[in-house]
Every structure is written in structure tokens, then in C-alpha cells.
Amino acid sequence: MTGDSIPYLDFPQRVRYLIEREYFDEVALARDEQAFLESINFHYFLGYARNFRKMRREVKGFSSASISELIEVVRLDQELSCLLFEGLRMLEWRLRAAFVDSYCATHESVNSYHVASTYARDELDQPIHEAVLRQVIRSKEPYIVEHISGRGEYASGDSMAKIDELVSGLPIWSVIDSISFGTLVRMIRHARRVSEEDEFMWKLVSSAIETPHQMIHEYLVAAHTLRNLVAHHSRLWMRPTTNTPKFPNTYKREKRNAHPKSMYVMILSLSICLLKVPGGKDFKDRVDELLSTSSAFSHGIRQVFIESKS
């Protein structure tokens, strides 16, 4: 340990820290609550504690909220993450199938999906067709591996021309599940239809999942952002969102009790996309049922705070 090291707190020190920093007046823990706190990274827990302290100080009705209630908030946040992942998985399955169906109805099934001219340029530096090629060439799917090995040998550092040659001949339906969700969203948003240069595939996909054309771009970007949050163990509670879509007209009643930058708006946009997806019709009801179990948790999903540094 050097003189500049920040000491690592053992469990009793963490409890004292919470009291000294006025997160709580006292910390009385049941055995299962202590076990929970010992199982979670304390710095991660403080992300919840800072916002919880702010809520106790500034929001009417929560001044006496206890650490037990915060622990319940963290647990419910985990449950919501699992539920969102389930919904995102349903949407992802449907999007992949809808894109393949729409693509094969308007394009040749081989080669064109990894050609630069198929896609309009987007805001990212890497061209979409290159992202597709790099992900397909790294796939371990037996059908793809066998195809590539039959055409040559791939080595890291190979040129895009070499990768294109190895991937050539694979139909899109065989590679679509080897492409990341982020790249899939880029493909849907920017792939052109062969028949008309100014027409894009997103209209066909939007029709297939019965989602409003004018909102599909915002909903896809929101779904990608939400998927990254869930997959990377991020806190959802009291988190201001980025790439937040407009409030869905379908849920006008909910607008009165939700901040426009809250996590709830993103969840509603996902719910809209799932209404016609098998198994997705009751997704919003399941989310609302979970939120109803804790007023503190519900408040933090429907509202937002900017964390303070202390």
C-alpha cells in the first residue's frame, strides 16, 4: 500500500461511512440484509444511496425511509433488469426475423447485405457493411465456420477485401444471429430497398412489428441504449436517460406521473414495440405490477435526479 492509496472499507467501516455521511441516521440490518450488502460492491451501492438520500431530503413522504427500503430498491432494480432483458430478447428475436423477411423480399439473399452501397451513412465512423463483415467473420456458428474454411483461411489483420471474399455466398438468414444488436439496429435504420433508392428497409420492418413509422428510429435507438444498460449491470433507478424517445401517445395517461427523461419513458417505448410480438402484450402490465410493490422504487423509475458528489 502506498501513501496515496484510498483505504478499503470493511463492513463495519461501511456502516459507519453511511451514518457519518448522513445517508441514514442509523443502520440496523437483519441478517439477510447484511448478507446482501456484503455481496454487493459498496461503491455500486453508493450510487443508489446518494440518490436515496436526495429523495429522503427533497421528496415529500420519504424523509423517514430506511436502509431496508433502499436494499429493497436495489433488489427490485435487479428484478426490473431481468424483466427488461426478457422484453428486449423478445423484441430482438422479432426484429431479426422481420429484417430477414423484408430483406429477402427486396434483395438477393447473398452478398448484398455486406456491400457498402446497400446502406446510407450513419453517425458512426465504421461503415455498416464493414461492421457486418467483421462480426460474421468472427462467428463460431458451425454453418458459417464451415463455409469460410471452405473458401480460405482467416487471420486477424486481414483486409476487408479478404474478409468480403471469405464471407461471400453466405445468405443473410444464416448470419443475422451472429450480428450484434447494435449493428442490427444500424442495418434496419439505414439499409436501402433495391427497388427505390430513397426507400429504406426500416419502413418494412416497422410495418412487420406494427410500430408507428414516425417513431421506429427513436424506439430502436432507445431499445439499444436500454439493452446496453441492462447487459452492463447499470443502475436503472433514478437514472436520467439519453436517446430518450418522445412520450408514446398510446400511454398519454402515464405522462402525468413520469419525467420525460425518466427510465419509464424508455420502458414504455419498448412496450409499444412488444404489443404485437408474441408474449409481449402484457409486458407493460408486468412492469407496472413490479413498480407497485415499492413507492420509493416506482418514484425512481418514473422520476430522475442528477447525482451529487459526496
Question: CA torsion angle for 136, 277, 217, 180 (degrees, to 10)?
Answer: -20
Alpha helices in 159-292 (DSSP H): 160-167, 172-175, 181-190, 201-208, 216-231, 263-274, 283-291
Section 146-151 average pLDDT? 95
Cβ atoms of residues 122 and 186 within 8 Å: yes
pLDDT value at residue 242? 83
Global pTM value: 0.89
pLDDT value at residue 126? 80
**What are the pLDDT digits (tens) for 248-275?**
888 888 888 899 999 999 999 999 999 9
CA distance 121 to 116: 9
**What are the pLDDT digits (tens) for 74-90?**
999 999 999 999 999 99
Burial code (b: 16+ CB inside 10 Å, e: under 16) for 100-134 equals: bebbeebbeebbbbbeeebbeeeeeeeebbebbbb
Nearest to 96, CA basis, from 170, 191, 179, 216? 179
- Is residue 5 predicted with pLDDT exceeding 90? no
CA distance 70 to 60: 16
Rounded to a whole number of angstroms, the CA Rg of the chain reads 24
Cβ atoms of residues 265 and 258 within 8 Å: yes
Question: CA torsion angle for 31, 36, 42, 45 (degrees, to 10)?
Answer: -120
Q: How far apart are the first and last CA of the chain?
A: 25
- Is residue 32 predicted with pLDDT exceeding 90? yes
pLDDT value at residue 195? 58
Please report which confidence band the pLDDT of residue 309 belongs to, taking 50, 70 and 90 as the band edges: very low
**What are the pLDDT digits (tens) for 277-306?**
999 999 999 999 999 999 999 999 999 864
CA distance 289 to 80: 11
pLDDT value at residue 252? 85
CA distance 82 to 230: 8
CA distance 85 to 200: 28
Least confident of 19-33, 74-88, 169-183: 19-33
Residue with cell 419525467: 259
